[in-house]
């Protein structure tokens, strides 16, 4: 695939360089403009000539800056695994609050992981897990208080 930058004729002299006029040449692999007297393409790094002399690559730090550069910004989504675990344990603690020992263990793990998760970003699930842990312990105390009151009446 050749890209014609102007109306000059594209020539290929058997080399890896495609020339459109006497002052500009382009890589036949990627189509980027080639710097004069370059042995390697500055964009794709492929060798440009097949001479018997091994050519040394021109590194990016040795090349002049090009006018058209593209900057790619990668936004990483960060996660707070320990805060998410605290949220899940706190939610399970509320759901299983009627089970005597299991609810207390799960509630404690939810509270512990949520507190640890509060010190890492993002904090959304950690805060929610902390609040659910507080609600969970209130529910657990209320259920066991009601059971103790019911057993005391017999």
Cα–Cα distance for residue pair 22/1, rounded to 1 Å: 20
Determine, yes or no, domain membership for 69: no
Determine, yes or no, domain membership for 14: yes
Determine, yes or no, domain membership for 96: yes
Helix (H) or strand (E) holding 113: helix 100-117
Higher pLDDT pick, 86 / 29? 86
Is the same domain home to 132 and 101? yes
Is the same domain home to 1 and 54? yes
In this structure, are residues 36 and 24 in contact, taking their beta carbons and an 8 Å threshold?
Answer: no
Is the same domain home to 88 and 125? yes
Domain end residue (candidates: 62, 97, 113): 62
Is the same domain home to 4 and 56? yes
Is the same domain home to 45 and 98? no
Is the same domain home to 58 and 103? no
Is the same domain home to 1 and 38? yes
For range 6-35, the mean pLDDT: 59
Is the same domain home to 54 and 86? no
Instruction: Please determine, for residue 21, whether its predicted confidence score (pLDDT) is greater than 60.
Output: no
Phi and psi at residue 104, to the nearest 5°: -70, -40
How many structural domains compose the chain? 2
Whole-angstrom CA distances from 140 to 62, 94, 145 are 69, 8, 8
In this structure, are residues 94 and 79 in contact, taking their beta carbons and an 8 Å threshold?
Answer: no
pLDDT in tens, 101-144: 888 899 899 999 999 999 998 989 999 999 999 998 898 889 88
Determine, yes or no, domain membership for 71: no
pTM over 0.95: no
Cα–Cα distance for residue pair 111/96, rounded to 1 Å: 15
Q: Which domain holds residue 90?
A: 81-152
pLDDT in tens, 52-61: 444 455 555 5
Determine, yes or no, domain membership for 73: no
Determine, yes or no, domain membership for 75: no
Is the same domain home to 58 and 85? no
Is the same domain home to 95 and 141? yes
């Amino acid at each position: 695939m050749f890209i014609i930058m102007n109306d000059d004729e594209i020539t290929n002299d058997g080399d890896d360089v495609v020339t459109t006029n006497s002052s500009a040449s382009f890589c036949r692999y990627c189509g980027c403009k080639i710097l004069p007297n370059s042995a390697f393409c500055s964009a794709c790094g492929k060798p440009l000539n097949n001479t018997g002399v091994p050519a040394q690559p021109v590194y990016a730090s040795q090349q002049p800056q090009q006018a058209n550069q593209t900057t790619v910004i990668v936004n990483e989504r960060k996660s707070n695994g320990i805060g998410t675990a605290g949220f899940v344990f706190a939610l399970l603690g509320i759901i299983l609050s009627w089970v005597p020992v299991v609810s207390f263990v799960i509630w404690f793990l939810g509270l512990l992981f949520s507190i640890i998760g509060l010190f890492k970003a993002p904090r959304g699930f950690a805060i929610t897990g902390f609040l659910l842990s507080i609600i969970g312990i209130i529910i657990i105390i209320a259920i066991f208080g009601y059971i103790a009151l019911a057993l005391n009446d017999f």
